[in-house]
Amino acid sequence: MDNIRVAVSGALGRMGREVCRTVLATEGMELVDAFDSRATGEDIGAVLGTGITGIIVRELTLRSLREFVPQVLVDFTTPLSVMQNIAISLEAEVRPVVGTTGITGVDLERIRELVKKSGIGAFIAPNFALGAVLLMKFAAIAARFFPQVEIIELHHDQKIDAPSGTALKTAEMIVAARLQQPEQREELLKLPGVRGGVQDGVHIHSVRLSGLVAHQEVLFGGQGQTLSLRHDSYDRNSFMPGVVLAIKKAHTLKELVYGLENILDL
């Protein structure tokens, strides 16, 4: 079987570097291109310290993406550029695997339109850590039995969007699983926003601090008891098994798939 040909957008970011290292080291995959607006003209292997690869970092354009014919473009960039990158990828007939945060419901509808027009698929996940996906699944189960829930998500201080896509996806799954909506009570808030943001009745609290990577806790309350579910990513390599799985699934997709749970046997 031929190797899956992979390009990486945002290759010099913290997640992008990890993806490049992983693809280079994974049997059955071949890194064929690396895109970033920084350090263009440098060999990605020299940047990573893995040895010269012959893969030169350059700007992502429709022309450059088509040059080495990748099958999959892995994108870990920013909310400011991701939609343009997805559009370029689909126009080039390259299936995007996207872990960039900040994709909204409106964005997803636009991506579905682009996917339908292109005739090929795309894969988007708010979180590629298998433990985080399991946490969301467990939270959806618990939501059937506990009337109250709040989400606390904690990330590094360079994350520009809040709340995280994982927290929004978790809230979405909780709301879909609930057997009934909880009662809403009037609250006296002495500080604006002290109860966090609210997504479909679920309170979400965002923390941004240096030293953190990606963490989420879901707290459930019921009669005389609480339940706490928590997942912690201490290193960005925690996301790589999920990225590898997504690449393997994505290169034959013909539709938009949103969420890693949709390609796991859960």
Each residue's pLDDT tens digit, 82-107: 999 999 999 999 999 999 888 888 99
Asked about 231 being catalytic, the answer comes back as: no
Structural domains for the chain: 4-124+236-263 (3.40.50.720), 130-233 (3.30.360.10)
Render pLDDT for 130-161 as a digit per residue (tens, 0 to 9).
999 999 999 999 999 999 999 999 999 988 88
Beta carbons of 261 and 133 less than 8 angstroms apart: yes
pLDDT at 194 over 90: no
Instruction: Please list, in sequence order, all residues whose beta carbon lies within 8 angstroms of the beta carbon of residue 110, skipping any fewer than 6 positions away.
Output: 83
Q: Is 203 designated active site?
A: no
Q: Which of 116, 117, 137, 155 is catalytic?
A: 155
Q: What gap in Å lies between CA 24 and CA 130, rounded to an integer?
A: 21
Identified catalytic residue from 137, 156, 159, 248: 159
CB 174 within 8 Å of CB 139: yes
Q: Phi and psi (nearest 5°) for 166?
A: -65, -45
Q: Strand, coil or helix: what is 219? A: strand
